[in-house]
Structure 1
Amino acid sequence: MELTCIENMATTNFAKKDPIIFRDSRVIENLLKDQGFYVPRCNYFDEVQTDIEPFMRKVVTTWMLEVCEEQMCEDQILPLAINYMDRFLCVCAIKRQQLQLLGATCLLIASKFRSSSVLTIDLLCAYTDYSVTYDHISSWEVLVLSKLQWNIAAVTGYDYIDQVIERFHWGNESILLRRHAHTLVSICYTEPSLVQTPPSLIAAACICSAIRGLKLSSDNQATRDVCYILNLDPISLELLVRFVDQIVEKVVPQKPKPNPNDTAKGVSNNGFESPNYKQPETPTEVENVYF
């Protein structure tokens, strides 16, 4: 007798949503209460690091984003890994040559903690073009965990998305809303200027930006609901939403205008496109985005 596995892992569904988790107010209350413990305590570019500049963090976190996209990691992995990196940089000065090593180590820890498919050390070494070794990442894993005092169950912007969307009727207006909001959260975590921004505010801004980009009719109501449930100032939220929209305009390519004189061109670089030009989702002006 032959046994055939017909399960398609690419399309396997997640567990059904638990109405208790998404309706109980204590969940969001606990997230809001705990998030302060995991926000980086200082602007480490000015107070701790002498060899690290904001643009360096941007380069490394963008690389981390690309690794997660290529490996199809769960959405929570990148924000969690970058949170580890920022908190580590608040307490330990490093050289610029060690920043990618730190990013790779944080991806390893985050994938072990939250992912069903762990990013291996060998894989991460390959993504650094072997500029770091297996032993480097192994030793830094212990260093990072010790500096974080093993507090790795951090609250990130990812944790708020479903909690907010599932509590209001406008969360069902578009099946793309959740996907776009998660993508925006990942993009926001690569921005150096948002290092000390509370995750609840980042999540709220990403949800509102996604709603506006999808042109949902409940835009104004959703903004009021988000401010109410997360105890946010509407002005602060609006400012961050506009900032998020500006970020997306920079990193997401717009749909090119058709030119009848152009001929079809093959994909360059042996069929590989950089993730910078192939973002899977974007929440602003969806009809103008070229996928």
Structure 2
Amino acid sequence: MELLCCEVEAIKRALPDPNLLSDQRVLHNLLSIEERYQPQCSYFKCVQKDIQPFMRRMVATWMLEVCEEQKCEEEVFPLAVNYLDRFLAVVPTRKCHLQLLGAVCMFLASKLKETIPLTADKLCIYTDNSIKSQELLEWELVVLGRLKWNLAAVTPHDFIEHILRKLPLPKDKLLLVRKHSQTFIALCATDFNFAVYPPSMVATGSVGAAVCGLQLDEGVSALSGDRLTKLLAEVTNIDVDCLKACQEQIESVLVSSLQQERLQQPSDPSKASDELDQASTPTDVRDVDL
């Protein structure tokens, strides 16, 4: 019998640990420390003078496109945005450095969450080579210092499995609800209004929006209307009215996002392929002041 170490193209993902998910202490610990990793104020009012909210949204959207194109783990993008917000909350930053900061945050988040992390050279390509690898590596140390090397931040993704296990969902719909919830979380990460919400609230609101959007509340009485909201609020110890407001805001952001996508679609179908070819690599974020 020969012992061979064969290379395989498929990346093996770690499965959720049922022991951790069934232990209430894990959820309790997440809830007790989540506020440590939030920006303590709206940094546009008290820290940033050169950066505006729409610039942050543009860079966050670019980061999402890069993560999607590179097929990163779902946790990478929200974690990278968490680093971005925490850095901007303490360091006045020039708008010409915002894309560089976004690239550094993705670089760090992928190192923490990916089996094969994003490389500095690849991230530079996604900026249309407007930054250099050495510059990214130098800023990596700057960001690490400002974050005090505390990278294991709590994000909404950490709560998803804990919440789903406590809902009476049909097994055949569980994967679909999870994917929709992750989409909502990514959408929230591009909107600064959700940066001041606790990750547990964003996660709970996203699950609620996913269940309602898939109309699963129509088939299970325990998931209908106020019963679902009350059940979700109990899981993460959130005020019911606050959760309702958060979920409504998430659904509103989704509607706005879909409307914006429709407006950006070319009216002439023959031009669609040309525009897709021109925008195949998301790099155009340098002129954020336009």
Question: Under a length normalisation based on structure 1, what TM-score does the superposition of the two structures give?
Answer: 0.84
Q: CA deviation at 1:274?
A: 5.7
* SS of the residue 2:169 aligns to: helix
Q: Percent identity?
A: 37
Q: CA deviation at 1:166?
A: 1.9
Q: Is the 8 A contact 2:166 2:235 kept in 1?
A: no
User: Equivalents in 2 of 1:271, 1:182: separation in Å?
Assistant: 25
Q: 5 Å matches for 1:161-240?
A: 161-170=160-169, 172=171, 174=173, 175-217=175-217, 218-220=223-225, 221-240=227-246
Q: Pick which of 192-201 and 146-155 moved more.
A: 192-201
> What CA deviation, in whole Å up to 9, does each residue of 1:215-251 have, x standing for no partner?
0032434322210010111111111111111111122
Q: CA deviation at 1:15?
A: 4.0
Greater RCO (CA < 8 Å, at least 6 residues apart):
2
Q: Which residue, 243, 252, 259 being the options, matches 2:258?
A: 252
Which residue matches 1:242?
248
Which residue matches 2:106?
107
User: Equivalents in 1 of 2:275, 2:7: separation in Å?
Assistant: 32
Question: Aligned letter for 2:210?
Answer: A
Mapped pair 1:132 → 2:137: no
Question: Aligned letter for 1:87?
Answer: R
User: Equivalents in 2 of 1:237, 1:154: separation in Å?
Assistant: 22
Give the direction of change, closer, same or farther, for the CA distance of 1:125–1:8 in structure 2 (3 Å limit).
closer
Q: Is the 8 A contact 2:100 2:136 kept in 1?
A: yes
Q: Is the 8 A contact 1:188 1:244 kept in 2?
A: yes
Q: 5 Å matches for 1:115-154?
A: 115-154=114-153
Indicate the RMSD between aligned Cα atoms, in angstroms: 2.7
Q: Is the 8 A contact 1:22 1:167 kept in 2?
A: no
Q: Is the 8 A contact 1:55 1:192 kept in 2?
A: no
5+ long unaligned stretches in structure 2: 218-222, 281-290
Give the direction of change, closer, same or farther, for the CA distance of 1:219–1:266 in structure 2 (3 Å limit).
farther
Aligned residues: 267
> What CA deviation, in whole Å up to 9, does each residue of 1:198-220 have, x standing for no partner?
10110011000000000003243
Mapped pair 1:73 → 2:45: no
Give the direction of change, closer, same or farther, for the CA distance of 1:6–1:52 in structure 2 (3 Å limit).
closer
Which residue matches 2:29?
30
Q: Is the 8 A contact 1:267 1:273 kept in 2?
A: no
Q: CA deviation at 1:120?
A: 0.6
Q: CA deviation at 1:271?
A: 5.5
Which residue matches 1:287?
none
> What CA deviation, in whole Å up to 9, does each residue of 1:8-35 have, x standing for no partner?
62xx674444321111100110000110
* SS of the residue 2:190 aligns to: coil
User: Equivalents in 1 of 2:272, 2:93: separation in Å?
Assistant: 39
Structure with the higher fraction of residues in helix conformation = 2
Which residue matches 1:259?
none
* SS of the residue 2:128 aligns to: coil
Q: Pick which of 241-250 and 197-206 moved more.
A: 241-250
